[in-house]
Amino acid sequence: MSLKVYNTLTGKLEEFVPLDPPKVLIYTCGVTVYDDSHVGHGRSLIVFDTFRRFLEHLGYHVRFVRNFTDVDDKIINRAKEECTDFMTIANRYIASYYRDMEAIRVKPADVEPRVTEHIEEIIDVIQRLIEGGYAYVSDGDVYFSVKSFKDYGKLSKRSPEEMEAGARVEPSEKKRDPLDFALWKSSKEGEPSWDSPWGPGRPGWHTECVAMAFKHLGRTIDIHGGGLDLVFPHHENEIAQAEAITGRPFARYWLHNGLVTVGGQKMSKSLGNYVTLREIYTRYHPDILRLLVLFTHYRSPLDFSWEKMEESQRAYERLKGAIEDYEVLKSLKVVKDRAGGTHPLYERVRSMEADFLEALSDDFNTPEAMSHLFSLVSELGKIKNRAYSEGKIAGSELSAYEFASKSLHNLMKKMFGLLEDLDPECSVERVVERELEAGDVVDTKLIDLLVEVRNIARKDKNFKIADFIRDRLGELGIELEDTPAGTRWKKS
């Protein structure tokens, strides 16, 4: 099976061929740690986490690097506001980031480098650029000379001439050309600074990713990713620096995820229309956000709303229910069936798996992959419905159901990172944690007792009491469901 990906650099769908298979080298630009991450960051993280999972499934050995920008203007400003140093701010939000990633189940990268730990490498890159005639020193600053790199603009598809015509670029006394960008900034009083051949200062934003990619992955990487809003100027500038030094392609494939919008407008700090990841996962199971993200193709814009979270929640419950209901079916009366041959469900599962993987191979078409999952869920629902109404299930059908539900669960878990806590080890802790945060811990034993009482009432046809218990539990956020195998309850 060949994987096709959309390469921003060429603007085309291309077959994915790593430089040195089975190795796949991926670099994505991580967050600037000056505040909590929001849904926009979350989407990018989830998208690339999914790519990585799929590549690993295809048998590639993925080496994944995602950096932290832990020194920049915003961090410094924030530190000033709080009368503390920038490192305190950076460390605080790195911790917050890790907490978020664990909650939304994005696997850590293999290397998560910090800018402040790579100053030497950054200086080295800048020095090479100066030596090569691509950069110049100007009063303690160092700038990259955009006109010196002939391919400038190839990623974002714009030429320096056009950009000058558009000219919203701030002219600076120190720059020779308004399009030039800073590689090294001399530091002002009280700002973090490091010694360099050009005097004390700190790195500009665009060099760090080049230096860290060189160090941890090499001179040409397979995939460079990030949000669509990084294409220009950040990624364009990365290409200019890296390729000016090496004379060869920096990344073979440039992959960009679409942005998250709110009411059609980009979600961003500056507009103030953002929702933090923490807000999401304290209100919803983290899988709901994942599902929401995967329900849209990664390159399309994704308009966030709480209504959509509710929709995903429903869809999620259906998915989850199909898998969990195996436990109910198992406790029904299982009858022997003389029927020979294999159950047609096995074939359905096989073709679903094939369709699912094929969809992912087509530029990670997760919405289509998802649709195949749901068509199997419908199949399972039919079986379940029949078994419930007959109060029994054939042994062969039960095994087929188990096979199908395991296949569903495996794909979701492995490829999409969903339903991981259906495994008993993970569940309790997470649920309790969320309940503590929501501030409404319930005593499960007490609920079981009430359910028992209600079932006694039902047996006696005292539906008034039975319904009263159900209603009151419902008000407390406990939903009851009477199945042929007894009453089950869950938190709503």
Partner RNA sequence: GGCGACGUGGCCGAGCGGUUAGGCGAGGGACUGCAAAUCCCUUUUACGGCGGUUCGAAUCCGCCCGUCGCCUCCA
Q: What part of residues 178-237 is at the interface with RNA (CB under 7 A)? A: 181, 205, 226-234
Q: Which of 50, 156, 396, 405 binds RNA (CB under 7 A)?
A: 156
By CB under 7 A, which span of 90-98, 246-254, 363-371, 426-434 interacts with RNA? 363-371
Classified as helix, coil or strand, 444 is helix
Find the shortest distance in angstroms from Cβ 244 to RNA.
Answer: 18
**Given the complex with RNA, which of 22 and 344 has the nearer CB atom?**
344
Phi-psi region at 326: left, alpha or beta (left = phi > 0; alpha = psi -120 to 50) = alpha
Q: Does 72 bind RNA (CB under 7 A)?
A: yes
Find the shortest distance in angstroms from Cβ 298 to RNA.
Answer: 8
Largest CA distance in the chain: 91
Pairing of strands 141-144, 181-186: antiparallel
Place of tokens 């060189």: 214
Q: Which of 268, 276, 282, 399 binds RNA (CB under 7 A)?
A: 268
Q: Does 370 bind RNA (CB under 7 A)?
A: yes
Find the shortest distance in angstroms from Cβ 206 to RNA.
Answer: 8
Axis crossing angle, helix 444-459 with helix 463-475, rounded to the nearest 10: 160
Please, what is the end-to-end C-alpha distance for the chain in angstroms?
41
Find the shortest distance in angstroms from Cβ 254 to RNA.
Answer: 12
- Check if the beta carbon of residue 254 is closer than 8 Å to that of residue 238: no
Of the CA atoms within 13 Å of residue 160, those in its CB half-sphere come to 15
Residue 362: strand pairing partners: 4
By CB under 7 A, which span of 138-146, 244-252, 365-373, 436-444 interacts with RNA? 365-373
Find the shortest distance in angstroms from Cβ 150 to RNA.
Answer: 18
Q: Which of 63, 114, 202, 297 binds RNA (CB under 7 A)?
A: 297
| CA–CA dist 264, 271 (Å, integer) | 12
By CB under 7 A, which span of 244-252, 330-338, 379-387, 395-403 interacts with RNA? 379-387
Find the shortest distance in angstroms from Cβ 455 to RNA.
Answer: 9
Could you say which residues in the range 235-264 bind RNA, by CB under 7 A?
Answer: 257, 259-261, 264
Q: Which of 117, 162, 195, 448 binds RNA (CB under 7 A)?
A: 162
Question: For residue 350, what are the contacts with CB-CB under 8 A and spacing of at least 6?
Answer: none
Q: Following DSSP, what letter does each residue of 126-149 receive, concatenated? A: HHHHHHTTSEEEETTEEEE-GGGS
**Given the complex with RNA, which of 131 and 279 has the nearer CB atom?**
279
Axis crossing angle, helix 236-246 with helix 205-216, rounded to the nearest 10: 50
**Given the complex with RNA, which of 25 and 370 has the nearer CB atom?**
370
**Given the complex with RNA, which of 244 and 360 has the nearer CB atom?**
360
Classified as helix, coil or strand, 61 is strand
Place of tokens 């950009």: 163
Tokens of 313: 């929640």
Find the shortest distance in angstroms from Cβ 311 to RNA.
Answer: 4
**Given the complex with RNA, which of 28 and 220 has the nearer CB atom?**
28
Find the shortest distance in angstroms from Cβ 422 to RNA.
Answer: 16
Q: Which of 119, 447, 483, 491 binds RNA (CB under 7 A)?
A: 483
Could you say which residues in the range 382-421 bind RNA, by CB under 7 A?
Answer: 382, 384-385, 388-389
Could you list the beta-strand ranges (E) of 211-348: 221-227, 251-257, 260-262, 265-266, 302-303, 333-335
| CA–CA dist 151, 334 (Å, integer) | 69
Q: Does 272 bind RNA (CB under 7 A)?
A: no
Q: Which of 80, 158, 413, 414 binds RNA (CB under 7 A)?
A: 158
| CA–CA dist 262, 460 (Å, integer) | 53
Could you list the beta-strand ranges (E) of 264-332: 265-266, 302-303
Find the shortest distance in angstroms from Cβ 468 to RNA.
Answer: 10
Find the shortest distance in angstroms from Cβ 188 to RNA.
Answer: 17
* Phi, psi at 225, each rounded to 5°: -125, 175
Site string for RNA, 323-352 (x = CB under 7 A): --x---------------------------
Other beta carbons less than 10 A from residue 372's beta carbon: 19
* Phi, psi at 91, each rounded to 5°: -65, -40
Could you say which residues in the range 462-481 bind RNA, by CB under 7 A?
Answer: 463, 466-467, 470, 479-481
**Given the complex with RNA, which of 28 and 396 has the nearer CB atom?**
28
| CA–CA dist 432, 418 (Å, integer) | 19
Could you say which residues in the range 19-48 bind RNA, by CB under 7 A?
Answer: 29-32, 40-41, 43-44
Q: Which of 1, 2, 83, 165 binds RNA (CB under 7 A)?
A: 165
Find the shortest distance in angstroms from Cβ 133 to RNA.
Answer: 23
**Given the complex with RNA, which of 57 and 269 has the nearer CB atom?**
269
Rounded CA Rg of the chain = 27
Place of tokens 């000033």: 80
Q: How many residues bind RNA (CB under 7 A)?
A: 89
Find the shortest distance in angstroms from Cβ 374 to RNA.
Answer: 4
